[in-house]
Structure 1
Amino acid sequence: MKKWLGLARAMALTRPGQPLHGLPADFMLLTQDIPDEPEDSEAGKDLPDEVMRELCAHLDLLEQRSCREVRVAVELLIDTGRRPFEICHLPYDCLTRDNDGKPVLLYDNHKELRLRRRLPIPEATAALINAQQERVRTRFPATPVGRLVLLPTVVSNPEGTKAISDVLTQHREWVAALPDVTFAVTVHEDGKPVAKRVCFDKEKIFPYAYRHTYAQRHADAGVPVDVLRQLMDHRQLTTTQQYYRVGEQRRRQAIDRVTAMQFDRHGDRIWRKAKALLDSEHARRSVGEVAVPCGVCIEPSNVAAGGHDCPVRFRCVGCGHFRTDVSYLLDLEAYLADLLRSRERLAAFTADTWAKDEATPSNEEITRVRRLIQRVRVDLDALTDEDQKQIQEAVALVRRSRQTVTLGMPRVAAPLPDLRPERPSA
């Protein structure tokens, strides 16, 4: 800005009758005086899992059409969610370790003028960077490490100090050469949901979409919004919260799909009776539940007490207010295994009869849990392969975002989940 003001004064634009007449000679603009540009304001540009799997499966084709550096750049875009310019201009020494020995990416946020930012990355991504560093060092052994870049161009670059820049063009040509990518969608025909597969619009597959996909993966996995703000290096929390609005919509869709297979204590499906609920009634029903082991409780007094006003605590499967669904199947199976182990252990334990009878799981409870598991599995097996796949994806999302029920025990901050998209084995 100082340059342009100096040029305007040199062109005599501040003289009487000129556009900048009256501008003081000591007037100047600093970087901090310029209004901030909008951050990543458009959430929802993330790519579906099916598309990401297809892209990762064809990374070899990208390398064949361009070079190794372009492929590594795209992999780092996918894994880290950084902007294309930030990845292309990574220095050679962009990898370090934190106090726990976990890998950290060092990069410059050029858009926000923040240098040497730190981003936790998975070990697989660190291995990718290490391999690229070895490749660069082999190509340019005489160049000091401090001058090298991680992704040197192959054009007019004898010392390895010039970074690649043509990722956008080569990425576009690679995507255009890929076979059509299809993904599952649910449409309504004659008032009934029908699963169909449609072709994904390749125009939506561009390098910046990987940043949105990275954010959405973490939002869907239940990463707290303040943690995601740090990962995205956003200045404002409201920018990050846009991804969470999309995440909440996805979670609701997953919950709707899962609760369509909801069961009472007898193993009878109950949600099918409430399919026509209005949104307000749906919300009321959701609020009127409290999480309990292997399901939820709908008893108003227990809900109001946050789950601490139950006279039959830990015997939920025998209560008429208990509800469970397909997302709790693993919990039910683990609970059944625990009941059986407890029964066998108590059978061999030396104690008074009344004490053993009090502590031993009843045959009725074991039978009830077995019946629930069997009913859920029978209904799952009756679904089509496509419906089963959608249910499994919904269950995975619901379980990731579900809050763990604790009984007043102190909580330890969970480590950041490793959400790096898998690569096909070589």
Structure 2
Amino acid sequence: MGSAWVYDDLPRRRNKNAVHHARGVISAVAMLSESLRLQRPDRGMVPAAWDRTDIVAFTNRMGHLTATGNLSAKRRLAFTRFVRRVLLRFRTLGLTGPGQLLEGMPVDFAIWPEDMPDEPEDTEAGRDLPDEVMRQLCASLDDLEAMSTRETRVATELLIDTGRRPDEIYTLALDCLQQDPDGSPVLVYDNHKAYRLGRRLPIGKETAATLRRQQQRVRDRYPTTDPARLKLLPRTKINPEGTHGLRDISTLHRAWVDWLPEFLIPVVVIEEGTQVTRLVPFDKKRIFPYAYRHCYAQRHADAGVAVDVLKELMDHRLITTTQGYYCVGAERRREAVDRVTALQFDRHGQRVWRTAKNLLDSEHVRRAIGEVATPYGVCREPSNVAAGGHACPLRFRCLGCEHFNTDVSYLPDLQAHLADLLRSRERLMSAFEADDWARAQAMPTEEEIRRLRRLIERVQTDLDDLTPEDRAQIEQAVTLVRRSRTVMLGMPRVGQPLPDVRPPRIQP
């Protein structure tokens, strides 16, 4: 059965994972065949006799193999998906018709939605590395180059800076560095996992400089090879023309990490009823090439990048996948919410004091079920909350609504919105061609700008009045709250620069 599917599917795939994918599908079909052989008296040799009970037996067997540790939950899900897809394809290819290989295969011999196992928990999610570990790794990149090769060092730098999957970095073409129309550098790569080619990732100037240095090195090393065939990171052995990229740096990377001294990170512990900060060794097994992808996501989340933007940066199809890459514990989130709630303001810039203990205790619940995100605060109007933020006639004019509240965690959004309003006003007041009525409706009002400035000044003033210790705690709480904020209904802004979250290092 599997060979028929391979002959149909393989020619339509044009990437290096095609053979690996085909092998996985054949393995899944082989497990289905094995289940039929074990469960049926005819050993599964008569397709017309197959029925729904055989599918149930197959899914139960897969569940048993997972429960006994003989099959991972991730592989079980993948194999079940493969079987569902193959059975459907057999029918569209006409293989169940008269005189065909699977003549008479019943319609109910199929994987139904209720047969699919649950999505396994992503055991890699949230495995970012502490800042102290990243600083030590970046400071030791020269040692990595001395212990291995220049290509290994550059690959590690790109993994850290771009957050791409390792195989996406290993297969980069020499001309992977391009520019957007505004001159900003972008990395062009292939997402082999999702079969998405020619993806474009905005990168910083320092990362672009690293790419240019490597490009020149490769050109000097292979002067006679057509640049279109060259790889950015050519392997050093059995590669006379530079057309084969790195295979894997995991072994060299592991040797380097193990060679480095212990990574000590501060941990708060309780000793005799008192909180004490101790330096404890970090587990080096958690430092591997794919971990840099989690670090990339975490750095951007900490910098306040909206989850929908981060989804595009990570090149994920589903936003829930992106959210799994930076996890905030409920206890830490609640503590952070309680801190920022103490600096909450209404639309007039008046401080909203939470003196009642029961209100403060339930504030984290209301954030989840009793409010909806606005561009720069929250709305508590019941009908708008029930509609997920899509039932407000004053959309993007929250400063004129009594149901609007904001807090210190929205200060960057308020400042960005003010900058947008001022830019829009300048453009509309210039030689921008538009009818008077359209210009009047689009022009931000002086009252809106004045009220927004007053609100920002009020929030900033309260922050400035805090002691350095209290301010540091508030800033840490704001980082956690912004990281866990998963709804973004802000005014669309195209081409906004991303924050520079590239870890510092010593250039070679």
**Where do residues 326-345 of structure 1 align in structure 2 (5 Å cutoff)?**
none
Find the counterpart in structure 1 of residue 167 from structure 2: 85
2:181 is the counterpart of 1:181? no
Matched, 1:150 2:232: yes
Which residue in 1 is equivalent to 2:496? 415
User: Shift of the alpha carbon at 1:45?
Assistant: 0.9
Q: How does 1:102-141 map to 2 (within 5 A)?
A: 102-141=184-223
Correspondence for 1:225: 307
1:87: Cα distance to partner? 0.6
Separation (CA, whole Å) in 1 of partners of 2:169 and 2:265: 29
Distance 1:281 1:227, change over 3 A: closer
Contact 1:225 / 1:244 at 8 angstroms: preserved in 2?
no
Counterpart code for 1:172? R
Once the two structures are superposed, what CA deviation does each residue of 1:263-318 show, in whole Å capped at 9, x if it has no partner? 9xxxx9x889969964x355459999999xxx9999xxxxx9965467xxxxxxxx
1-structure distance, mates of 2:252, 2:358 = 48
In 2, the alpha carbon distance for the partners of 1:379 and 1:240 equals 35
For 2:134 and 2:163, locate their aligned partners in 1 and report how far apart those are by CA, in whole Å: 13
- Cα displacement (A) at 1:206: 0.7
- RCO higher in structure (CA 8 A, sep ≥6): 1
Q: Deviations over 1:31-78 (max 9, x none)?
A: 974999989934211112222122111111111111111010001111
Contact 2:145 2:153 in 1 (8 A): yes
Quick one: which amino acid aligns to residue 161 of structure 1? T
What is the distance in 2 between the residues matched to 1:273 and 1:52? 42
Aligned mates of 1:326, 1:232 — CA distance in 2: 24
SS at match of 2:207: helix
Q: Distance in 2 between matches of 1:76 and 1:123?
A: 13
Query: Can you list the C-alpha shifts for 1:206-262, whole angstroms capped at 9, x where unaligned?
Result: 111111121222233333333222222223333223236539876655455566899
CA distance in structure 2 between the partners assigned to 1:111 and 1:326 by the alignment: 36
Q: Which runs of 5+ in 1 are unaligned?
A: 299-303, 311-321, 332-364
**Seq. identity, %:** 48
Q: CA deviation at 1:394?
A: 4.5
Q: Say whether 1:45 aligns with 2:127.
A: yes
Match of 2:10 in 1: none
Residues 163 and 253 from structure 1, CA distance in 2 versus in 1: closer, same or farther, beyond 3 angstroms? farther
- Cα distance in 2 for partners of 1:189, 1:273 equals 32
1:171 corresponds to 2:253: yes
Cα distance in 2 between the residues matched to 1:197 and 1:258? 29
Paired with 1:61 and 1:196, the residues of 2 have a C-alpha distance of: 28
Give aligned pairs, total. Answer: 359
Residue type of the alignment partner of 2:228: G
List aligned pairs for 1:356-367, cutoff 5 A.
none
User: Contact (CA 8 Å) 1:73, 1:87: kept in 2 or not?
Assistant: yes
- The alignment status of 1:66 with 2:153, answered yes or no, reads no
Distance 2:129 2:358 in 1: 30
- Contact conserved, 2:262 with 2:281, CA < 8 A, in 1? yes
Q: Deviations over 1:334-360 (max 9, x none)?
A: xxxxxxxxxxxxxxxxxxxxxxxxxxx
Q: Compared with structure 1, are the counterparts of its residues 323 and 64 closer, same or farther at alpha carbon in structure 2 (3 Å cutoff)? A: same
The normalised TM-score by structure 1 is 0.63
TM-score (norm 2): 0.54
Separation in 2, partners of 1:414, 1:256: 34
